[in-house]
Chains A and B, each alone.
Chain A
Amino acid sequence: MNKKLLMKFKSIIGLIVFSLIVSVLSPRFLTVSNILNVLRQTSINSIIAAGMTFVILTGGIDLSVGSTLAFCGAVCAYFISAGMSVFLAVTIALAIGALVGLFSGIIISKGKVQPFIATLVTMTVLRGATLVFTNGKPITLGSDKASEVFSKIGAGYFLGIPIPVYLMVLVFMIAYYVLTQTRIGRYVYALGGNEEASKLSGLNVSKIKLSVYAISGMLAALAGVVITARLSSANPNAGAGYELDAIAAVVLGGTSLAGGAGSILGTIIGALIIGILSNALNLLDVSSYYQMIAKGAVILIAVLADRKEK
Chain B
Amino acid sequence: MKKGLSILMVAILLMGLLVGCGTQEKVQEAKDETQKIGLVLSTLNNPFFVTLKEGAEAKAKELGYEVVVLDSQDDPSKELSNMEDLITRGVSVILINPTNSDTVGNAIKLANDAKIPVLTLDRGANSGEVVSHIASDNVAGGKMAGEYVVEKLAKKGKVIELEGIPGASATVDRGAGFNEALKGTEIEVVAKQTANFNRTEGLTVMENILQAQPEINAVFAHNDEMALGALKAIEGTNREIMVVGFDATDDAVASVKEGKLAATVAQQPDMIGSLGVETADKVLKGETAEKFIPVDLKLVTE
Contact = CB atoms under 8 A, between A and B. Distances in A.
Given A131-B45, A282-B205, 14 more contacts: A29-B211, A131-B44, A136-B44, A137-B47, A138-B47, A138-B251, A231-B232, A236-B45, A237-B198, A238-B199, A282-B209, A287-B192, A288-B163, A291-B194
A283 B205 CA distance: 9
Contact of A278 (B45, B49, B204, B235): B204
Contacts of A26: 212
B199 A233 contact: yes
Interface in A235-292: 235-238, 278-279, 282-285, 287-289, 291
A136 B44 CA distance: 6
A278 B205 CA distance: 8
A213 B49 CA distance: 35
A231 B229 contact: yes
**B-side interface size class:** 20 to 34
Give 4 closest A-B pairs by Cβ, nearest first: A282-B208, A288-B194, A136-B50, A34-B211
B250 to A, nearest CB: 7
Contacts of A140: 251, 254
B278 to A, nearest CB: 24
Interface of A: 26, 28-29, 31, 33-34, 37, 40-41, 111, 131, 135-138, 140, 155, 227, 230-233, 235-238, 278-279, 282-285, 287-289, 291
Nearest to A237: B45
Main secondary structure of the interface of B (DSSP, over half): helix
Interface string B175-217: 0000000000000000111100011100111011101100000
Contacts of A278: 204, 208
Given A140-B251, A282-B193, A289 B166 contact: yes
B225 interface: yes
Nearest to A135: B50
B200 A279 contact: no
8 contacts: A29-B211, A31-B211, A136-B44, A136-B45, A278-B208, A282-B208, A283-B212, A285-B192
Contacts of B198: 235, 237
A230 B203 contact: yes
Interface of B: 7, 44-47, 49-50, 163, 166, 191-194, 198-200, 203-205, 207-209, 211-212, 225, 228-229, 232, 235-236, 250-251, 254
Contacts of A34: 211
A37 B44 CA distance: 32
B166 A37 contact: no
B126 to A, nearest CB: 22
Contacts of B46: 136, 237
A25 to B, nearest CB: 11
A68 to B, nearest CB: 15
Contact of B250 (A41, A137, A230, A285): A137
B257 to A, nearest CB: 12
A31 B208 CA distance: 12
Contacts of B235: 155
A226 to B, nearest CB: 11
Which of B50, B199, B212, B235 gathers most chain A CB within 10 Å?
B212
A1 B160 CA distance: 50
Which of B207, B208, B250 gathers most chain A CB within 10 Å?
B208
Contacts of A282: 191, 193, 205, 208-209, 212
